[in-house]
Chains A and B, each alone.
Chain A
Amino acid sequence: MTWLKLVEGYMPMQMISELVICILVFSIINYSLKRAGMGLPKFWAGIFVWAFVNVFYLKYRIYPPIPFSVRAIYGTVSACGIFMWVSGSQQEWEEFKRPIINVLDAKTGMTKFIRTALLILLPIGLWGFAYNSFLPNFDEPIELRTVHPAPPATTKVHGKTYVLQTASNPYRINPEGKYDQAYSNAHIVDQSMGRLMKDVNSAEENPWDPNAKGYIKHVREGGEIFFQNCHFCHGDNLNGRGLWAFAFNPIPANFTDAGTIAQLQETFVFWRVSKGGIGLPGEAFPWASVMPPWEQHLTVDEIWKVVMFEYWHTGYYPRTWE
């Protein structure tokens, strides 16, 4: 159902809002039908809601496709929710159970037929399920990838040891030349689409201003390094969709996603960039990264600058603890 767009930046809330609207519409319809004496039996209402959310909405409405493991979690939780709803009171529970009991009792021709059909179909279904599970499967196995492994306490780059817990970006400085996270936070671009179109006039805000100096000048220098080295994979918009990105699986990290650099300390990113995929620690199974160890191509200063550019461009702030 891709004709109804999920709006970038609002997708999570859009999803919840859509579900709320769907459930409200369903409640109103059901209420109206009840008033007219044609209310949907609780049993079918429960099945309908579950099927709508899991079979229709999560599978066909949300794109890109949600992996099965997540849909299985959602399916189980929503089934629990529906059980809680239909058995919330004794009266509702009796109402929900009635069609099941009727079929089991089989007092009418129709229920007899359904019971007989179920007796035949259920074993066949189970047999089919078992048969299917025994078929040889040539899919690649599931990988429980550790995307953000714990960093080491220290890392050595170009002969100098950095303590990741306490090190800081030497270029994240205020006009006085002192490390100042708040200053740089105040000078990142706004988080929105078309962020680079923002009208920035002053040399303090605009990295392309010839008079830019200090922090913002270093951002530009980081940008130059990024576009000379990184954008081929990480993309012009830093969203992991560069020219070469789709040659890899997984594609390179999407820095605009709230779950990547926004969750990390700047020193973590510094360590990852310096050491690349080959420097991933043991716990980073299955070490699915082809990023080169950039310490072999860039100086320490260049790495710090490019890291700073990534934060500036995406509008995210590096994680700090204080």
Chain B
Amino acid sequence: MGRLFNQMTRGKKKLLAVSALMVMGGLLLLPIFLSVTAVASGGGAPAGGPPADVVAAQKAGEEGEAEKVEMGRDIYYKTEGPAIGDGAPVTADNETFYPRYNFESRVLLWVANQQHLYYGSFVLAVPIFCMCIEFAGMVSKDKAMAKKYDQLAYDFIKISLTAYSLTAILGGILIFTFLTLYPAFFGYLSSIFRPVMHIYALTFVAESGVLYIYYYGWDKMREGVLKWVHLSMSVILNVIGTVLMFLANSWIAFMMSPAGVDEQGRYLGNIWHVIHTALWNPLNVHRILGNMAFGGGVVAAYAAYRFLSSKTDEERAHYDWMGYIAMSLGVAFLIPLPFAGYWLMREVYAYRQQMGITLMGGLLAWLFIIQATMIGILFLTTNYYLWQALGRMTGGERFQKYIKYLVFILVCGLLVFITPHTIVMTPAELKAMGGQQHPVLGNYGVMSAKNGGINAIIMTTIISFIWYQRGNRVPTVSWAKFGNIFMGCFFVIAQLNNIWLACYGYFIPANVRIGLSVPQVAGTLSCLFLMTPLNLAMLKNGRQLGPIRWGQIPPRSQYAIIMLATAFTWMMGLMGYIRSSVRLFWHVNEVMRDNSPWAYTHTIGFAANVISFNVLFFWISIMFVFWLGTLGAKKIPVPAQAGQPVPSPQPATGH
């Protein structure tokens, strides 16, 4: 009877806890819902009606007052709407529009913005990983693995939490930088986005609340229904995070490809047009994937740092495993990233040809070569890590002798991928070459060859991953031989198809050539999405050649992870700079001109130095965050006995 009573009390407590959580979540989300309603009504009027400004304008019109409503034409959507406000300010190079310190304001803003973005990306990406890992732990039938996953997800969110407060601080610094150095521009942007500015702020409140409940409630909600509630909170957390990012993206998309305003930059009453500009969705997709890859890279670098500074084999085993998981997640999002980038560029070209040419064929083209080099580094280091990881598996050595062939394909693909179209050379070299285009290498400088190059690299990475999956296992299914032949043929055909299409691209019209990227990408993605599951199916109940010796991986692999993360960071800084500087001398493209003394494009060297400074600053500060993480960490106390095999990493219990 007492037991039953206890169970009932426990059940009641759970119910109470769930209800309390739901109420809390509801309260956190309430302001957002309220403000969304307000937006729909234009800022205060009942839902469903036209925006308040429009209502006022209509009313004025109806009453036949002296002031007549002026209509404007949307520069992108070509729709008519009542022009509201004075439009974009026409600025001049003076202290009123551009107050300044004795330093280049643009660089100050650049650094503040980039640091906020780094941390913002990190704290948006990590909860998504946590959600996936926590879910994996919950559905895992192996109790030990479930605990390991749970611990890992907790480790991830712990790092993210400190970074979260830094993100908020950097966001504040960014706003103050805008207000003090670019008041006219910021004022204009705020006036256009006024209906959603507060939603952004309120969403932050909701994000913080949910994050804190998610983190601090980890132990309390570790079992049963509460665990599912806990997981649901991570879903809510990520939904809010994604909304936040989409809103922030709408501002930069508006600056690049404005819509919802007329030629003078006057708001036309439709906030959806302002948000949903030509480049908003491609930017959203690209940034989600980029953030995930970046977040994975940073967490993997944390694990690598902890691995290298580990004192015991247990610690090494744990951080080796953590690094592997984080890197795998990062790379999983890295693979589709080039395709998302391709879509974004396509949309940029479709929006403004000049913008596309400035980016990829003109002024900023060399930065794209640097970007290609960075992408190459990412894939090369990923492959290298996987090859090193083969060494910690019994049986992995049977694949290592073929590494040289993969290296050759990777290097050839990368050389084609990074060959510049516009070659840097002295006039003497130009003369010796006999023209601007090299007759042999010039062909590698165009898109057709580059698509072939990057697809070859990605396919090779997939092969490395499949080898890794097979490292210590041998398929025992009856159709193993057939499966192997099929997989081999599939990869060969996909690679031949890729090379053939890359060559064929030179002989067909450009619009068809752009379309050719679809079958090329399809071939690569087929390798990923068909061959990887096929491989897993073949390995099901396969023969184990030995355990994975976690922690017994050469330190080179960890340096590769750190390089991968650094390359991610550098590339993110670079692409942010490219995306921003493509506007050239516009604050808002073709609407609000930048008349500050810094409305010119920096030299490549200067830009590279600022990017490097940003990367260095980020890594120094994130090292501080890592260090903070270690302060609260429990030590793993069991020392390893010399000569004994190292067991799989075990999670620490409790947090």
Residues of A within 8 A of B (CB): 6, 8, 11-13, 15-16, 19-20, 23, 27, 62, 64-70, 73-74, 77-78, 80-82, 84-85, 87-93, 139-153, 164-165, 181, 185, 191, 240-241, 249-251, 253-254, 257-260, 262-263, 265, 268, 283-284, 317-322
Choose from A89, A144, A147, A191 the contact partner of B436 (Cβ within 8 Å): A147
Beta-carbon contact of B354 and A150 below 8 Å: yes
Which residue from chain B places its CB closest to the CB of A190 in the assembled complex? Answer: B507
Beta-carbon contact of A259 and B400 below 8 Å: no
Beta-carbon contact of A150 and B383 below 8 Å: no
Write out, one digit per residue, whether chain B residues 426-446 have a CB within 8 A of any chain A CB (1) or not (0).
111111111111111111111
Nearest Cβ in chain B — how far from A284, in angstroms?
8
Given contacts A88-B400, A89-B397, A151-B354, contact A140 B428 (CB under 8 A): yes
Interface residues on B, range: 35 or more
Beta-carbon contact of B427 and A254 below 8 Å: no
Choose from B376, B426, B440 the contact partner of A139 (Cβ within 8 Å): B426
Residues of the A chain whose Cβ atoms lie less than 8 Å from the Cβ of B365: 146
Nearest Cβ in chain B — how far from A20, in angstroms?
8
Beta-carbon contact of B353 and A151 below 8 Å: yes
Beta-carbon contact of A148 and B391 below 8 Å: no
Which residue from chain B places its CB closest to the CB of A74 in the assembled complex? Answer: B415
Beta-carbon contact of B353 and A15 below 8 Å: no
Nearest Cβ in chain A — how far from B450, in angstroms?
12
Choose from B380, B384, B439 the contact partner of A257 (Cβ within 8 Å): B439
Residues of the B chain whose Cβ atoms lie less than 8 Å from the Cβ of A283: 358, 362-363, 601
Nearest Cβ in chain A — how far from B366, in angstroms?
6
Asked if B355 is at the interface of the complex by the 8 Å CB criterion, the answer is yes
Residues of the A chain whose Cβ atoms lie less than 8 Å from the Cβ of B554: 90, 93
Asked if B294 is at the interface of the complex by the 8 Å CB criterion, the answer is no
Asked if B493 is at the interface of the complex by the 8 Å CB criterion, the answer is no
Residues of the A chain whose Cβ atoms lie less than 8 Å from the Cβ of B380: 80-81, 84
Asked if B349 is at the interface of the complex by the 8 Å CB criterion, the answer is yes
Residues of the A chain whose Cβ atoms lie less than 8 Å from the Cβ of B373: 73
- In the complex, chain B residues 403-444 whose Cβ is within 8 Å of any chain A Cβ: 403-404, 407-408, 410-412, 414-416, 418-444
Residues of the B chain whose Cβ atoms lie less than 8 Å from the Cβ of A82: 407
Beta-carbon contact of B423 and A319 below 8 Å: no
A321 vs B397: C-alpha distance when bound (angstroms)? 49
Binds A, one of B142-150, B320-328, B508-516: B508-516
Residues of the A chain whose Cβ atoms lie less than 8 Å from the Cβ of B448: 258
Which residue from chain A places its CB closest to the CB of B404 in the assembled complex? Answer: A85
Chain B interface mostly helix, strand, loop or mixed? helix
Beta-carbon contact of A263 and B446 below 8 Å: yes
Beta-carbon contact of A148 and B438 below 8 Å: no
A90 vs B403: C-alpha distance when bound (angstroms)? 13
A241 vs B421: C-alpha distance when bound (angstroms)? 20
Residues of the A chain whose Cβ atoms lie less than 8 Å from the Cβ of B358: 149-150, 283
Choose from B362, B410, B430 the contact partner of A81 (Cβ within 8 Å): B410
A21 vs B601: C-alpha distance when bound (angstroms)? 45
Nearest Cβ in chain B — how far from A229, in angstroms?
20
Known: A80-B411, A144-B366. 5 other contacts (CB 8 A): A66-B433, A74-B415, A84-B407, A317-B508, A320-B511
Write out, one digit per residue, whether chain B residues 532-545 have a CB within 8 A of any chain A CB (1) or not (0).
00000000000000
- In the complex, chain B residues 441-458 whose Cβ is within 8 Å of any chain A Cβ: 441-446, 448-449
Residues of B within 8 A of A (CB): 349-350, 352-355, 357-358, 361-363, 365-366, 373, 376, 380, 383-384, 387-388, 390-391, 397, 400-401, 403-404, 407-408, 410-412, 414-416, 418-446, 448-449, 503, 506-511, 554, 556, 601, 604
Nearest Cβ in chain A — how far from B72, in angstroms?
20
Beta-carbon contact of A13 and B446 below 8 Å: no
Beta-carbon contact of B357 and A151 below 8 Å: yes
Nearest Cβ in chain A — how far from B365, in angstroms?
7
Query: Could you list some 13 contacts between A and B, CB below 8 A?
Result: A11-B439, A12-B449, A67-B424, A67-B430, A88-B384, A149-B358, A151-B357, A259-B445, A283-B363, A319-B509, A319-B511, A320-B511, A322-B511
Nearest Cβ in chain B — how far from A315, in angstroms?
8
Beta-carbon contact of B419 and A70 below 8 Å: yes
Residues of the B chain whose Cβ atoms lie less than 8 Å from the Cβ of A164: 353
Residues of the B chain whose Cβ atoms lie less than 8 Å from the Cβ of A151: 353-354, 357
Residue from the set A149, A191, A250, A258 with the largest chain B CB neighbour count within 10 Å: A258
Beta-carbon contact of B419 and A77 below 8 Å: no
Beta-carbon contact of B362 and A257 below 8 Å: no
Nearest Cβ in chain A — how far from B419, in angstroms?
7
A165 vs B418: C-alpha distance when bound (angstroms)? 29
Nearest Cβ in chain B — how far from A17, in angstroms?
11
Nearest Cβ in chain A — how far from B536, in angstroms?
24
Choose from A15, A140, A265 the contact partner of B426 (Cβ within 8 Å): A140
Given contacts A84-B407, A164-B353, A258-B446, contact A69 B510 (CB under 8 A): no
